[in-house]
């Protein structure tokens, strides 16, 4: 079992983000769950990878050649895979993972999460997608997603594909117990 973690290549403004990344990394390793992530040594990316490794867990980093120097590829990984593009990075990370977790991050983190969540909505995979809502970081996004449901652009079942939890243990339990919805993506005029 491996989970892909999307997160910032920056540490963010608050120290609690790094603390949460470390807690998640420790919990993954202690549960025997491997980490797949973006391969950098900096920001929350480096924190979560180092935390998994510090507890003897498996870490697979995937980074495009163009970002090896910019994102400071993690030289301490036993398994660092260098690919040619961002598209290859995301495809390989998805292929290697049994679920997806987003820690705080910027637009790259959101883009990665939204892509795998869209794939789940379209039925391309049945893997869970989750937000670790550290210190309410994703509260505004969660409200906006509820607005999409209210405006009939997103089915409630597909909104519920995205697990949102504040506690690492609760989040990992929800991922383990996840069952993909058996509904189609498309909303008919009669569904609204």
The per-residue pLDDT for range 145-177, each reduced to its tens digit, is 999 999 999 999 999 999 999 999 999 999 999
Please report the pLDDT score of residue 182 as a whole number: 81
Cα 38 from chain centre: 10
Give dist(CA 90, CA 87) in Å, integer: 5
Q: What confidence score (pLDDT) does residue 183 get?
A: 72
Number of neighbours of residue 52 by Cβ within 10 angstroms: 25
CA torsion sign for 101, 54, 20, 45 is negative
**Can you tell me the distance from the alpha carbon of 71 to that of 30, in angstroms, rounded to the nearest whole number?**
27
Q: Which two three-digit tokens encode residue 174? A: 């929800």
Nearest to 155 by CA among 184, 130, 189: 184
Q: Which of 176, 179, 159 is nearest to 168 (CA)?
A: 176
Mean residue pLDDT of the chain comes to 93
Domain architecture of the chain: domains with CATH: 2-176 (3.40.50.450)
Q: Percent of the chain having pLDDT more than 90?
A: 85
**What is the Cα–Cα distance from 130 to 132, expressed in whole angstroms?**
7
Give me the residues paired with residue 6 across strands. 102
Q: Which residues lie closer than 8 Å to 152 by C-beta, 6 or more apart?
A: 187, 191, 192
Beta bridge partners of 165: 132
Is the model's pLDDT at 11 over the cut of 60?
yes
Is the confidence at residue 110, as pLDDT, over 90?
Answer: yes
Residue 97: is its pLDDT beyond 70?
yes
At 189 the pLDDT is: 53
């Amino acid at each position: 079992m491996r989970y892909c973690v999307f997160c910032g290549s920056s540490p963010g403004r608050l120290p609690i983000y790094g603390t949460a990344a470390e807690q998640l990394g420790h919990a993954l390793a202690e549960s025997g769950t491997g980490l797949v992530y973006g391969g950098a040594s900096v920001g929350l990316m480096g924190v979560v990878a180092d935390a998994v490794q510090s507890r003897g867990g498996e870490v697979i980093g995937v980074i495009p050649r163009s970002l090896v120097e910019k994102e400071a590829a993690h030289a301490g990984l036993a398994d660092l895979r260098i690919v040619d593009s961002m598209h290859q990075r995301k495809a390989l990370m998805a292929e290697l993972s049994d679920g997806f977790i987003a820690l705080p991050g910027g637009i790259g983190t959101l883009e990665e999460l939204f892509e795998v969540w869209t794939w789940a909505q379209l039925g391309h995979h049945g893997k869970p997608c989750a937000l670790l809502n550290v210190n309410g970081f994703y509260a505004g996004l969660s409200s906006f997603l509820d607005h999409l449901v209210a405006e009939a652009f997103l089915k409630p079942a597909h909104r519920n594909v995205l697990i949102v939890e504040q506690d690492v243990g609760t989040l990992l339990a929800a991922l383990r117990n996840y069952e993909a919805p058996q509904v189609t993506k498309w909303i008919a005029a009669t569904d609204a």
